[in-house]
């Protein structure tokens, strides 16, 4: 299994830089790939800020990527939940934080926007 960095994912998803994009494709085609939580967070940020992609395009790209047979993440169930909440309008990082915190009684935050967008199934409280 090979773990990948954000720049590999971005080359694969955006296909800018032909030589590196081909190397990324070959890496994913020929190996089992692990993507760390931090790499997924950074990839979403880069796609949104550096490439100015829309949330719907980022959701589609990440969903396709994570749907590949040879791609593994630390917590597939939480990632799928985060992607659903992201698709419903939450910030990706906020959705990921909430998805990983579902085993807790409550999620405390100063972010009123997060509280407003949080699903009813998650106890999210202002502090």
pLDDT in tens, 10-66: 999 999 989 999 999 999 999 999 999 999 999 999 999 999 999 999 999 999 999
Average pLDDT of 6-11?
97
**Pair 95, 126: CB distance under 8 Å:** no
Select the CATH number that applies to the domain covering 2-126 from these four: 3.20.20, 1.10.287, 2.60.40, 3.40.50. Answer: 3.40.50
**Cβ-proximal residues to 49 (8 Å cutoff; 6+ apart), any chain:** none
Burial of 48 (C-beta count, 10 Å sphere; 0-12/13-18/19+): middle
- The structural domains of the chain, with segments of one domain joined by +, span 2-126
For residue 127, the model assigns a pLDDT of 80
For residue 109, the model assigns a pLDDT of: 93
pTM: 0.89
Assign 111 a pLDDT band (cuts: 50, 70, 90): very high
DSSP element (H, E) containing 25: helix 18-30
Provide the 8-state DSSP code for 92. Answer: H
Cα gap 4→34, rounded to integer Å = 7
pLDDT tens digits for range 15-30? 998 999 999 999 999 9
Q: Which tokens belong to 7?
A: 């720049």
Beta pairing class for 71-73 and 2-3: unpaired
Residue 85 pLDDT class (50, 70, 90 cuts):
very high
State the Cα–Cα distance between residues 24 and 8, nearest whole angstrom: 6
Query: What local confidence, expressed as pLDDT, does residue 58 receive?
Result: 97
């Amino acid at each position: 299994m090979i773990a990948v960095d954000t720049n590999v994912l971005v080359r694969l998803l955006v296909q800018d830089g032909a030589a590196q994009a081909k190397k990324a494709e070959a890496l994913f085609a020929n190996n089992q790939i692990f993507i760390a939580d931090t790499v997924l967070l950074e990839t979403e940020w880069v796609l949104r800020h550096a490439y100015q992609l829309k949330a719907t395009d980022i959701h589609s790209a990440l969903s396709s990527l994570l749907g590949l047979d040879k791609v593994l993440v630390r917590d597939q169930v939480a990632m799928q939940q985060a992607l659903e909440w992201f698709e419903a309008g939450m910030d990706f990082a906020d959705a990921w934080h909430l998805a990983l915190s579902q085993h807790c009684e409550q999620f405390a935050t100063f972010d009123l926007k997060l509280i407003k967008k949080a699903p009813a199934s998650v106890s999210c409280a202002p502090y």
